[in-house]
Structure 1
Amino acid sequence: MPSFRATIQITGLRPGHAPEEVMDVAVAAVGAAHVVEANQLDIVAGTPRITVRFMVEASEYDAENQLARNAAVSMAHGINTVATTGALRTARRSAGKWLPL
């Protein structure tokens, strides 16, 4: 199964939400349709950034990429219920490298 990752900047929390809810929502959104391999929080240039790594069912290359893009958008929509966000990026693992979609 091909491996992908979705990365998004977190620019703030919405009122009434705890920081840990952001990752919980992100993992739940992706995990609703795909196997989540890992997740992490990084601070890049002072801005929190979360990454969710996941697999999609093997099929045709472009279809796999579209499923990954859809998962990333679902993750962003879910996160936006509890936090404000910045840039969303999706990448595919290929030959040991992460290639942007």
Structure 2
Amino acid sequence: MPSYRAVLQITGLRPGCPPERVMAAAKEAVASVHLVEADQIDIVRGIPQITVRFLVEAANEPEEIAAARRAGLIMQDSVEDVATTGRLQVLRRSRGRWLPV
């Protein structure tokens, strides 16, 4: 099964929402459609970003990419309930590298 990453910038928290709820919302959203492999939080150029790595059922490449993009949008929509977000990237693992889709 192909491995993908959804990477989302977090620009702020909604009032009353604890920081740990951001990653929980992201993982729950992606897990509702795909198997989640891992997650992490990084600070890139002073901006927090969350990464959720997940597997997509094998199909033809355009279908896999479409499913991965949908998962990223589902994740962003769910996280928007608890935080404000910035840029979303979806990447695919290919020959040892993560490439944007």
The interval holding the TM-score normalised by the smaller chain is: over 0.9
Q: Normalising by the residue count of structure 2, what TM-score does the alignment of the two structures yield?
A: 0.99
Q: Report SS of the residue matched to 2:89.
A: strand
Q: Distance in 2 between matches of 1:99 and 1:7?
A: 12
Q: Deviations over 1:56-77 (max 9, x none)?
A: 1001110000000000000000
Q: Are positions 1:63 and 2:63 aligned together?
A: yes
CA RMSD in angstroms comes to 0.4
Q: Are positions 1:33 and 2:7 aligned together?
A: no
Moved over 6 A (4+): none
Q: How big is the shift at 1:46?
A: 1.3
Counterpart amino acid of 1:54?
A: F
Q: Distance in 2 between matches of 1:23 and 1:9?
A: 12
State the percentage of identical aligned residues: 55
Q: Distance in 2 between matches of 1:5 and 1:20?
A: 19
Q: Normalising by the residue count of structure 1, what TM-score does the alignment of the two structures yield?
A: 0.99
Q: Which runs of 5+ in 1 are unaligned?
A: none
Count of aligned positions:
101
